[in-house]
Structure 1
Amino acid sequence: MTLSLFFVGASDTACEAARVLSFKKSSPNLSLGISTIGGNAVGIFVHEVQPQSFAFGHDGLHCCDQILEYNGVDFRKLTAEEASLELTKPCPSVRMLVQYNPARYKKVYNQPGDHFYVRVHFDHTADNHGELSFKKNDILLVESTIHDGKLGHWFAWLVDDEGRKTQKCGTIPSKERLEDDFNLKRSQSENEFEDLKGSRRGSGNVRRSFLQRRKHKRNNSKDSREFNSFSDASLNSDSVPQLDDISVYTYTKIERMECKKIRPVILLAPLSDPLIKKLVSESPDIYLACQPAVMQASVQVMEQGLADGTYIDYWQEDDHFVCIRVTSIHEISDKGMHSLLNGSPSSIERLHRQHIYPIVIFARHKSVKQLRELRDPQFLPERLNAKAAKDIFEKFQKFEKDYNHQFSAVIQGGNIAEMHQQIKTVISSEQKKGIWVPSVL
């Protein structure tokens, strides 16, 4: 084992100059032999160095050293969990940038080290005292990613829509632990399938039933893409996600931001067209319908437009395609007006990728009968027939089940005038609010 030491320029806010330590380990699996405190909110600090550690000594690590970099990884914004996982990775040598900062160490010693928000994508019921129960779409503030020194457990608070703590707090399973559980379930499910396939006693009906449970149909139509999404995953589900990115079934890290631009509005309503017409007709200085563009192109060209963010949605009409362009939304917003979109739920996520955060309003109707009875002399002169009303009602029931976490507000379906007034109230209120947007976890 060899150790070398030299100094780099001092930080403006540090008590001492930052220094670089380099060690060669006798074995890649040899532990660094230190304990740390802190997290992404305060930084990672050395708390204790074991006497037998190769980093121990006058020229090594000391209590109160802040770890700024470790083997090329920036530690300044790592959570306690992320830092611990980096420090325990096997490696033949160690190179660290550290800074002795006892004043800051003392200040953060008894404070929560981590601080970030997550939106949860499953229901969780606490089994033991001290654990936190939560529901799908709740927002949590995580303050420790190694609670009581244990990997796999986070400490979190349930917060309201403004990010304020409620009275509910406790431990929750970590993101990595959840993903490990999902991978285990997926592996067990695949093994079960192989056992069924290889078993002579396994009947064709059993195999078909198992496959049907796991298989997700694909269809290029606008509506079927929404219907076949997988969004009800939970740890207690028999179905196991078959996607590469299983993180979408655990937690999504989010942050709250103020939206200074006029936000577009997506109306997820069975009768969105007459509602949009009424809004534009009565308030043309506030609302403008986003007109779809007609495209004579191939499916491949249209799909590429979705992929590169040129369009947020498209569908086929007769022998051509119709699409909603991102530039059209920007142009309306730049005029200081709300663009009104009759888009699909999948367009919400595509807008988010373009850093556009729409106000999403869902209209919930009580029954097929209520839909059939709706009529407006100017904007909906003809009632829906029985089949159309039933199909639309079931379609929007599915939308609510799969995409409710994307809704800004839910209004009660009624006559056109009532819904029109509710929508105006929601838009005015939501435009003033801060919004939660995804960030990198």
Structure 2
Amino acid sequence: MAGECVPEGPNLKEMGEEELWELINDNRHRISLGVRPCILIPYLRQVKVLTEVDEDEILSCHNLTNRCMRTSYMLDLLRTQGRNGAIALLEGLMIHYPTLYTQVTGRKPSTEPSRFSGLIKYSELTEYLIRAVTGMQTELQEARNEAGKMGARCSFLESEVRQLMAQEEKSRHLQTENERLQRHLSSLQRDVTKLKDEKCDLYIRYTAAIEEKSAINGRLHDLNLQVYQLQTELQSIQMENEFHKQRSLRSVSPSRTPQLQEAHKDILQQDLAEAIDSQVELAEHLKNYREENERLLRDKQGLVDQTEALSLQVQQLSLDCKMHQQKSTVVQSQMKELQVERDQAYQSRDDTQAMIARILAEKDTLRSQLVELQEAVFIFQAKRSPRTQLQRSDVENIGWESPTSSSEESPLPVRRRLRRMDALNPMSLSSCYSESEDAVPTSVRSKGAEPPSPESLRRRQEVLYADSSLETAETDSLLDDFVCLSDGIEEEQKPRPSFSHGSNSVSLSRTSAPPFLVRTRPKAIRIIGRVLSVSLQCEALLSQLTVVGGNKSGVFVHQVTEGSAAHTVGISPGAQIVEVRYEQNSRALKMVLEDSTLEEATWALSQVTGFCHLSLRPRQNDYEALLQQLQNSKTSSGDSFYIRVNISLPADTSGALTVSCNDILHVTNTRPDDTEDLWHASRVHPCQLLDLQSGTVPNYYRAQRLLIQTIEDMSFQTKKGQKVGRVDAQSEQKAVRIVSTGRQGRNPLWVSVEEENTKSTESGPPSPSKSCVTLMPYTLVTPHFPPVCRPILLLPTILGRMLDKKLDSWQGFQLCEPDVLTSSEHAAHIQRSEILEEVEPGGNQCYTLQSVDKVMKKGLHCVLPLGLDCVRRLHRFGIFPIIIFIGLSARNARKLRSKLQRNGQTEEQLLACSKSEEPLLDKLPCLYHSVDPDSWCDQNSLLTSLRTYIWEEQRKIVWMEPDLW
């Protein structure tokens, strides 16, 4: 009925070019909203108003971020075709969008769309429509089958996720119970300590009472002895008086007897009075002594009773102590069981994650096979049509030329050449892989403009020379910068693959110094010892001797060919190769091998031909110790360093290690079984320096080729690959981390190459340094172990400000407060780089390093209401914050709408902030934790998860990269 009411519009055959495009432009907004370019483009290609390059540009250009922009850009391209473009567009609308065609032209759609345009024959259009419908039905059936498989797989994975969540919940309950038991154990330990203190006090009191009792008994014995002496003296005095009395009676004459008797009587009365007085006094003393003795006996009985009570208390305390010890033993056994269960839960979680990663890798492999099969089917169908055969030959004439080396290794189909597109600028990958002589000299170890502190130099010396116990170290001044060997070393070995685009190319030549490991200047710390200089003439130095060792132990001469020039000059096994000097193409070159890996030393010695000078250091004991370790299989080489992986690498061969982006690996051998393109490495435990799964990984050069190939595949993938990628990008983790360096120094583990200025140089100023960017699949990292609670930084910034106050209310967390500084203090803090961020530009309130350090000294997590700029400033002072990026989606943002409105912000601002800050995280020299947007639904669930994430990140090792720019 609606079609019958539509009025007839103007005749399109009678309208001119300007009238047709004026009609289309009047309805441009409606067409942009309702038309999908991928549906109309096949028909527009059929009528030859759009080319294949135009199709790729419309569908693949990164500047066209949505469908409306792509449709509008398609209209602009059709406008350049004039009347034919307008007629073809209207016919395409009549075929695929009849309602929209009626709204635009005012006419009902015709059953013969080409009757007025003459652009395409009716028979060809019918054949095209049949093929399009058949292809769409086939794709629809395949999509339904794939959707059914994915739905079943999704259900299975959801059940596994629910099981894992249940296990996680159980683990969380066990963790809570463990914390409660620990608190109870701590309280019991405090009670036991208190009881022990009371027991010690009772022992002290008991000892004091025994000593006092002994003193009283001694005093009582002295008093009894004094009483006995007094009684003895009294008896002797009485006997003496009696003796004198009888003697006086015998010697007195009768005439004088009455007088003597009277005198004697007086004397006796006086003596009696004195004796009575003395006896009374003695009786008083004796009475006092007896009273004191009775009192001492009563005290003694009280002390005996108190001693018995104390002994009973001691026995009771001993029983209580034994009971607490038994309880403590039971609690500790339960804690060990909980730890075992927790480790089993973690192991099952890791196994599940590994299984999911393996399944995703298998799914990617199947997808790539499916794409190859579809391309084969399309090619087979195209061969059946001579017209398509001719078009394909034209496309091949203007297509991309695949590199020779890469086509030899893996025969991939030829990719079409893109035009008017800047998805990947090959000039950013300039010829730094082959020319590195004129790069700007920069220090590898320095992370800032300030010189290293003495403490930093001491730590470097301990790390670099821990195994050199018999040698002495001293600090040299910083030496001149190095130049690469790329201009002087001849082409050899197998060719390296190149990534070409027109006249510009990026090649990885084995003759040039490797882009990952060449250092711009030698070490600032050198070992001084017995160094022997040997000169010899040889055609190929590496054919006359073999080496063992690595960057950790040093590179030693292992075997010397008898009768060779090296054997004639006296080179013997056990000598460390410190330095090599030789001439090549009239240039005197020097290579320092003190801290090179085995792979690098082998490559460096293979470059030496002709007359050369070797600097050797005798270290027979260290060499024999290394051989003993190799024979006992305690180590596989003398190499040992840690790297961070910047690309996901599946296990392509048996014994290979599957790694993901941002994994930390411990490389222990750079030439396993004399293999040139593999390293032997182990995955590192996140919380301890322990090696877990071991296997082989591609070395730096092969990994760099894989990185470039991955970027190339991401840039030139097909339309279906783009659709699949958009679907899978939400569930899969990041595959590539773009890390580059703009300076000539790449890594301190590679040999340092210097050009000796002994030859006369040509006149004229030196050539200016060239800009160079090097993609790095691996970056060196060093471990750090923060001794205190690490600060917390939540991103994106807008959401972090909302959650900081919630974290401040938790126990063990405190929000960082700004300091009010005067102008002089502000200038001093800026000079020392201690200002992390200003509250307001130009204000006197600033977040300083001291405010963060003050909270950390309390043993609390400092919540940082700051941005990403503060991370590097904190790293400079040895503070490593926990960085948590919270992923957002439109659904999550809607849950936070009310809280955003209270702060005067919108959902669009929150999503834009998240989108702008997420790419900056890969530029940080440390790892961060990313929260999946599907793992939380509201603020409460997010806060619950954050506590677990912070606890896990606090236990982990902090891995730091060197400054690459």
1:98 aligns with 2:625: no
User: Could you say what secondary structure the match of 1:56 adopts?
Assistant: helix
Corresponding residue to 2:636 among 112, 115, 124 = 112
Shift, 1:41, TM fit: 3.8
| Match of residue 149, structure 1, among 665, 674, 684 | 674
Deviation track 1:153-195 (CA, whole Å, cap 9, x = no partner) reads 3222334424544445223122x55568889999x9xxxxxxx
Q: 1:138 to 1:431 in 2, by over 3 A?
A: closer
Distance of aligned partners of 1:20 and 1:328 in 2 relative to their CA distance in 1, 3 Å threshold? same
Give the structure with the larger helix fraction. 2
1:69 is aligned to 2:578: yes
Q: Establish whether residue 39 from structure 1 lines up as the match of residue 539 from structure 2.
A: no
Partner SS, residue 430 of structure 1? helix
Q: 1:414 to 1:309 in 2, by over 3 A?
A: farther
Q: Name the counterpart of 2:782.
A: 255
Counterpart Cα distance in 2 of 1:39 and 1:335? 44
Higher RCO structure, 1 or 2 (CA under 8 Å, sep 6+): 1
Going from structure 1 to structure 2, the CA distance change for 1:128 and 1:40 (only over 3 Å counts) comes to: same
Partner of 1:355: 878
- Output the amino acid matched with 1:54: A
SS of aligned partner of 2:780: strand
Cα distance in 2 for residues equivalent to 1:331 and 1:183: 47
Which residue of 2 is the match for residue 169 of structure 1?
695
Contact 1:409 / 1:426 at 8 angstroms: preserved in 2?
no
The letter of the residue matching 2:551 is N
1:60–1:185 distance in 2 versus 1, CA, 3 Å: farther
Q: Percent identity?
A: 24
- The alpha-carbon deviation at position 273 of structure 1 amounts to 1.8
Alignment of 1:304-383 (within 5 A): 309-313=833-837, 317=841, 324-365=847-888, 367-374=889-896, 380=899, 382-383=901-902
Give the number of the structure whose residues are more often strand, by fraction. Answer: 1
Distance between the aligned counterparts of 1:381 and 1:30, measured in 2?
Answer: 71
**Displacement, 1:334?**
2.7
1:120 Cα deviation (Å)?
0.7
Contact 1:140 1:157 in 2 (8 A): yes
Query: Deviations for 1:48-99, whole angstroms, at most 9, x for unmatched residues?
Result: 1123543314x62223x04163359875653212333454565842222122
- Tell me by how many angstroms 1:107 deviates: 0.8
Which residue is 1:406 aligned to?
A: 927
Could you tell me which runs of 5 or more consecutive residues in structure 2 were left unpaired when the two chains were aligned.
1-467, 472-528, 581-589, 713-734, 747-772
Gaps of 5+ in 1: 1-10, 189-230, 235-239
Q: Which residue of 2 aligns with 1:211?
A: none
Secondary structure of the corresponding residue to residue 109 of structure 1: helix
Mapped to 2, the partners of 1:372 and 1:232 lie a distance apart of 30
Residue number in structure 2 paired with 1:435? 958
**Partner amino acid for 2:683?**
L
CA distance in 2, matches of 1:251, 1:322: 41
Contact 1:121/1:251, CA 8 A, preserved across alignment: yes
Give per-residue Cα distances to partners, 1:402-435, cap 9 Å, x unaligned. Answer: 5277324637445444433433343344334433
Residues 74 and 124 of structure 1, relative CA distance in 2, 3 Å threshold: same
Distance 1:172 1:156 in 2: 10
Give the counterpart letter for 2:579 in structure 1: Y
Number of matched pairs: 364
* 1-structure distance, mates of 2:866, 2:661: 24
CA shift at 1:139, angstroms? 1.7
Cα 1:329/1:154, change in 2 over 3 Å: same
Going from structure 1 to structure 2, the CA distance change for 1:268 and 1:328 (only over 3 Å counts) comes to same
1:204-231 superposed Cα distances (whole Å, 9 cap, x missing partner): xxxxxxxxxxxxxxxxxxxxxxxxxxx9
CA distance in 2, matches of 1:68, 1:26: 17
In 1, Cα distance between the equivalents of 2:903 and 2:890?
Answer: 10
Contact 1:68 1:97 (8 Å CA) reproduced: yes
Contact 1:21 1:60 in 2 (8 A): no
Contact 2:794 2:884 survives alignment (8 Å):
yes
Deviations 1:329-357 (A, max 9, x none): 22332333322113333543443343221
Q: 1:181 to 1:420 in 2, by over 3 A?
A: closer
Deviation of the 1:264 alpha carbon: 1.2
Q: What is the CA-CA distance between 1:374 and the residue it aligns to? A: 2.6
User: SS at 1:261's partner residue?
Assistant: coil
Change (3 A) 1:242 1:20: closer
For 2:661, which of 116, 136, 145 is the aligned residue? 136
TM-score, with structure 2 as normaliser: 0.33
Kindly tell me: are residues 294 and 128 of structure 1, through their superposed partners in 2, closer, same or farther at Cα, counting changes over 3 Å? farther
CA distance in 2, matches of 1:48, 1:362: 54
Q: CA RMSD in A?
A: 4.5
The question of 1:124 aligning with 2:640 is answered: no
Q: 2 CA distance for matches of 1:262 and 1:107?
A: 42
Secondary structure of 1:123's match? coil
Residue 116 and residue 374 in structure 1: after superposition, are their counterparts in 2 closer, same or farther (change >3 A)? same
User: Whole-Å Cα distance in 2 between the matches of residues 440 and 74 of structure 1?
Assistant: 23
Q: Is the 8 A contact 2:650 2:658 kept in 1?
A: yes
Q: State the shift of 1:35 in Å.
A: 0.9
Structure 2 match to 1:49: 560
Structure 1 length normalisation: TM-score?
0.66
Matched, 1:275 2:789: no
SS for the counterpart of 2:913 is: helix
> Per the alignment, do residues 42 and 423 of structure 1 end up closer, same or farther by CA in structure 2, a change over 3 Å counting?
same
Structure 1 position 36, deviation (Å): 0.9
Larger Rg belongs to? 2
